[in-house]
């Protein structure tokens, strides 16, 4: 049996797409092995969000070539989509696939093998011409407790710092019938929680309006909840733009407790001048008012966010504005990123680029606030009882999992608890979350 190994960089969408490709290889009779092992085929699913992501992608390609110089190396994902020429120059690369046409990856790999690797196969096409969601079913169910489920592709926001619209192309949405069918497959496989993902998830359905179908993200949510029935215990949303959070979505969260009280709403900056330069479509006051309103309606909700520091033109005063704004927000978690200059984006050509040493200083300063807010959010649930989906067995009889509002909880348990929802009495801070006691 031929062996194939995968590695993935980047977001949850990339993780889902790797699982899809794994299923395609398994259906053809391949055995999936660890990327650290010697395999006949290596598939590197790349990321291009930052320069670091591209650097790691190149390192992993070279690592695969060192492990088995005779193996077929296939490179897929965002880096190969935006820079196929660069990928083609890396020694050992046999197949290049972008962010479309991954359904053909097994055929491409086997064609390269049949030709004894004499010709590199480049299947990257113009992603800006893509018009339909690439609907590849999961042929193989991943062995996890939470299932990532991609329902949307593409982005047309064109934030000035972001390469993703050029890597992923225009908006494409998965048909509701396909969403229902895949949901039924996932719950039948025993998944307790489904996480809906997409490149611009909140834009789900906009492209379908062009063919006379009027649906939105909330229609997709209701489809999953209906198809999952009583077997689906949790539904969680991936990242959304704040301006796309509808009253109907919050209403579903209030009335159907399966929809997790957790929203990831990227802020990116706490200064309106920087938001405008980023081509973000809201102001800080609009963002603050939205979050305040959501917290009134769903008091236990976790609001997590992303913030970029060191964007071109961000002065000390503007950064202080971000610090002051964040201090008023009580986020559950903040992902802090230094600005990464991406060739091909407008911001890469902006004047007043911030020095790397200053970016690092600002990251550290904001991270201190982020850590404090996360701790305060966790503390607010001490002495409460929350349901925890157990997904990992730690050492010495300790297990861990996530609450609906995305708090990591540790407790004593066993392997038998994995994949099950347990009621846990929360007792206090522990590592990156809380310690608790399972209540029978």
DSSP assignment string, 35-87 = TTS--SEEEEEE--SSHHHHHHHHHHHHHHHHH-TTSEEEEEEHHHHH-HHHH
Residue 284's Cβ-side half-sphere holds a number of Cα atoms within 13 Å equal to 19
Residue 292: how many other CB atoms lie within 10 Å: 11
Q: Could you give the 3-state DSSP secondary structure of residue 108?
A: helix
* Residue-wise pLDDT tens digits, 411-439: 999 888 888 999 999 999 999 999 999 99
Select the more confidently predicted residue: 269 or 393.
269
Q: What is the pLDDT confidence band of residue 232, given thresholds at 50, 70 and 90? A: very high
State the pLDDT at residue 3: 97
> Using one digit for the tens of pLDDT, what is the confidence trace for 84-143?
999 999 999 999 999 999 999 999 999 999 998 888 999 999 999 999 999 888 877 776
Q: What is the pLDDT of residue 383?
A: 95
- Judge whether residue 207 has pLDDT over 80: yes
CA 138 to each of CA 25, 26, 142, 257, 349: distance values in angstroms, whole numbers, following the listed order = 11, 11, 9, 27, 41
Q: Which of 142, 144, 165, 124 is nearest to 6 (CA)?
A: 142
Domain made up of 3-125: CATH architecture: 3-Layer(aba) Sandwich (3.40)
Tell me if domain 3-125 and domain 146-379 are identical in fold. Answer: no
CA-CA distance, 306 to 367, in Å (whole number)?
11
Task: Note every long-range contact of 437-440, with CB atoms under 8 Å and residues 24 or more positions apart, other chains counting.
Answer: 437/411, 437/412, 438/411, 438/412, 438/413, 439/385
- As a whole-number percent, the residues of the chain with pLDDT over 90 amount to 90
Residue 72 has pLDDT above 90, yes or no: yes
Angle at 308 between CA 302 and CA 313, to 5 degrees: 145
Predicted structure pTM score: 0.93
Decide if pLDDT at 395 tops 80. no
Report the CATH architecture of 146-379. Alpha-Beta Horseshoe (3.80)
d(CA 66, CA 188): 40
Judge whether residue 317 has pLDDT over 90.
yes
pLDDT (mean) for 62-80: 95
Look up residue 26 and give its two tokens: 């398994």
Tokens of 245: 């959070």
Integer Cα distance of 284 and 268 in angstroms: 10
Chain centre to alpha carbon of residue 239: 7
Q: So what's the pLDDT on residue 43? A: 97
What is the per-residue pLDDT across 368-379, written as a single tens digit (0 to 9) for each? Answer: 999 999 999 999
């Amino acid at each position: 049996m031929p062996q194939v190994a995968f590695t993935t960089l980047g977001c949850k969408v990339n993780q889902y797409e790797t699982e899809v490709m794994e299923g395609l290889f398994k259906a053809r009779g391949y055995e999936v092995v660890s990327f650290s092992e010697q395999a006949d085929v290596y598939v590197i699913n790349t990321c291009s969000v930052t320069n670091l992501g591209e650097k790691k992608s190149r390192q992993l390609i070279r690592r695969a070539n060192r492990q088995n110089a005779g193996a077929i190396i296939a490179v897929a994902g965002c880096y190969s989509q935006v820079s196929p020429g660069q990928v083609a120059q890396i020694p050992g690369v046999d197949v290049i696939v972008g962010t479309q046409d991954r359904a053909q990856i097994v055929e491409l790999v086997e064609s390269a093998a049949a030709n004894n690797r004499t010709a590199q196969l480049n299947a990257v096409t113009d992603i800006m011409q893509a018009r339909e969601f690439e609907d590849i079913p999961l042929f193989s169910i991943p062995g996890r407790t939470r299932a990532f489920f991609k329902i949307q592709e593409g982005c047309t926001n064109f934030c000035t710092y972001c390469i993703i619209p050029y890597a992923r192309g225009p908006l494409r949405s998965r048909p509701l019938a396909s969403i229902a069918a895949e949901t039924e497959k996932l719950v039948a496989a025993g998944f307790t929680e489904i996480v809906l993902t997409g490149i611009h998830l909140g834009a789900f359905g906009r492209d379908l309006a062009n063919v006379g179908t009027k649906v939105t993200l909330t229609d997709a949510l209701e489809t999953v909840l209906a198809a999952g029935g009583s077997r689906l215990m949790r539904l969680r949303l991936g990242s959304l733009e704040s301006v796309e959070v509808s009253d109907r979505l919050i209403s579903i969260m209030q009335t159907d407790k399966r929809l997790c009280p957790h929203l990831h709403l990227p802020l990116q900056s706490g200064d309106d001048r920087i938001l405008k330069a980023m081509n973000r479509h809201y102001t800080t006051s609009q963002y603050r008012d939205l979050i305040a309103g959501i917290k009134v309606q769903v008091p236990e909700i976790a609001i997590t966010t992303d913030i970029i520091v060191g964007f071109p033109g961000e002065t000390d005063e503007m950064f202080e504005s971000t610090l002051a704004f964040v201090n008023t927000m009580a986020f559950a978690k903040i992902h802090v990123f230094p600005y990464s200059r991406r060739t091909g984006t407008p911001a890469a050509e902006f004047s007043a680029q911030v020095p790397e040493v200053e970016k690092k200083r600002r990251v550290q300063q904001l991270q201190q606030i982020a850590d404090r807010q996360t701790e305060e959010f966790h503390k607010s649930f001490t002495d409460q009882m929350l349901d925890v989906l157990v997904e990992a067995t730690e050492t010495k009889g300790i297990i861990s999992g996530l609450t609906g509002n995305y708090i990591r909880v540790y407790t004593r348990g066993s392997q038998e608890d994995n994949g099950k929802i347990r009621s846990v009495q929360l007792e206090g801070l522990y590592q990156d979350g809380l310690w608790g006691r399972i209540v029978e």
